[in-house]
Amino acid sequence: MQGPLCEVIALGEVSSWAKQLLNHWQSEDLIQVSYESSVASFCNRTPSSQTVQIVVLENGPACKTGLSLLQSSPHDLLIILMGQSFTKEDCSLALENKVFGLIENPQLSDKRAHDLLARAAEMRSQKSQLAHLIRSLKGLVLQSESKNSDPEMISEMKTGLGKVEKLVHQSNTHSGSSILPLAQSQGLGDVLLTLSELERTGTLWVRGAKSGQEGKIDFLQGKITFAETGSVQQLKAIYRMFSWDSPRFLFNRKAPESYESGQLIPIEMSLLVQEGEKQTQRFKQIQKQVPPLELKVDFVAQSLNDKTSLSPNDFHTLIQVVEYHYVSDILDYSEKWDVDLFEGLISLKKSGHIKVMVPASQAV
């Protein structure tokens, strides 16, 4: 029978709520858990082996001190924070301290927690294999030196060993928080500001509540270099993500020196977030009237006459209707923001300038 995904150590004070969850996951063979009531005692203990350890801290008043102790300890750790909720400050603290992942308000059977623990187990295995490789290479170098082997060959082996050790160092420095689910209670604006303030490099993955609502935003030292969702990119993609309900976030951190990026998006993050939140408010006011993306609309030619007066936004939207018909295409191919186009479509429908096209299969 397959055993637990990984062994975890719960450090510090653990509430009855958290202990119930951990023990339940152990009973389901998801983890094997042990408890260590003192973070300081754990950190002062000499590591018994080269094995990477997975530790869990509960979010709370003592969390900041606990994370600080863990960062200065000699242990090779993957740190997971669990809690009933996380604030923006909690997420900033997690990013600063290279936390591997957050488990927010988990349930007894929680796919998010299962997936995070599975990734932690995989990361632990990879890091352990790299450590084993380094020990083996060092052994070969020492063995070759003791046998007075070819100096040139020994030099090449040492160079190769140095490269592997550098890769491991970069992994320890940058990958500890490589997969960090940000607090789901945060909005996209707060997440963007957090990553900007901490000058993070990597990719923020965003997922909305509806099917197909998936996007990514690339960062280089806190600056956005690229954004995409579906077929739209850059600012239009970011502002579309602002309109999604109940977004979930995952930040995949990368080392700046290994990051290939294009030109930065030329806008201050605070101004970007202000505009995104403004568009979100406008979208919420019309959300119940927003047409479905698969809807097909057409121009009503007889609705226009010499006295017709259209706003610039309505006129632009009408041109898109004539050219593309489908709401999804109107949104994707126009340079206008989604909320402008939705407002235009609603206005044109109310004034009778556009109509919904009935599929032939439904025609009477």
Residue 145 structure tokens: 């030196």
Residues 116 and 136 grouped into a single domain: yes
What are the DSSP E strand ranges found in 37-185?
Answer: 53-58, 77-83, 101-104, 179-180
Residue 105 is assigned to a structural domain of this protein? yes
In a domain, 1, yes or no: no
Distance CA 259, CA 239 (A): 24
What is the per-residue pLDDT for 315?
Answer: 87
Would you state the pLDDT for residue 234? 94
Same domain? For 256 and 129 the reply is: no
- 195-200 long-range contacts (CB < 8 A, ≥24 apart) are 195/95, 195/219, 195/222, 195/251, 196/222, 196/223, 196/269, 197/92, 197/222, 198/92, 198/95, 198/96, 198/222, 200/95, 200/251, 200/253
> What pTM does this model have?
0.61
How many CB atoms sit inside 10 A of residue 12's CB?
21
Q: Looking at the structure, tell me whether residues 263 and 322 fall in a common domain.
A: no
My answer on whether 98 and 132 are in the same domain is yes
- Considering the domain architecture, whether residues 15 and 49 belong to the same structural domain is answered as yes
Instruction: Give yes or no: residues 239 and 95 share one domain.
Output: no
Q: In this structure, are 265 and 174 located in the same domain?
A: no
What's residue 217's pLDDT? 92
Residues 174 and 228 both lie in one domain: no
Q: Which of 255, 286, 317 is the last residue of a domain?
A: 286
What pLDDT, on a 0 to 100 scale, did the predictor assign at position 364? 27
Question: Would 363 be classed as within a structural domain?
Answer: no
The answer to the question of residue 163 being in a domain is yes
27/111 same-domain check: yes
CATH number at residue 108: 3.40.50.2300
Pair 33, 145: CB distance under 8 Å: no
pLDDT at 166: 59
Structural domain boundaries enclosing 336 = 290-357
Question: Is the CB of residue 232 less than 8 Å from the CB of residue 177?
Answer: no
The domain total for the chain is 3
**pLDDT score at 348:** 87
Residues 314 and 232 in one domain: no
Q: Is residue 323 part of a domain?
A: yes
The pLDDT value given to residue 356 = 86
| Radius of gyration of the chain measured on its C-alpha atoms | 27
Tell me: do 207 and 138 sit in the same domain: no
Of 137, 155, 179, the residue that ends a domain is: 179
Look at residue 136 in the predicted model and tell me its pLDDT: 67
Q: Each residue's pLDDT tens digit in the chain (364 positions)? A: 466 778 888 998 889 988 998 898 888 888 888 998 898 888 888 776 657 788 889 888 888 888 888 888 888 788 888 888 777 677 777 777 778 878 878 877 777 777 778 777 777 776 666 666 666 666 666 776 666 666 776 676 667 666 655 555 544 443 444 445 555 556 888 889 888 887 888 888 888 888 888 999 999 888 999 999 999 999 999 999 999 988 888 887 777 766 665 678 888 898 999 999 999 999 999 988 988 888 888 888 777 776 777 888 888 888 898 888 899 999 999 889 999 999 999 988 888 888 888 654 333 2
Final residue of a domain: which of 260, 286, 312? 286
Q: Is 82 part of a structural domain of the chain?
A: yes
251 belongs to a structural domain: yes
Tokens at residue 17, please?
Answer: 């709520």
Indicate whether 155 and 202 sit together in one domain.
no
Look at residue 364 and tell me if it is in a domain.
no
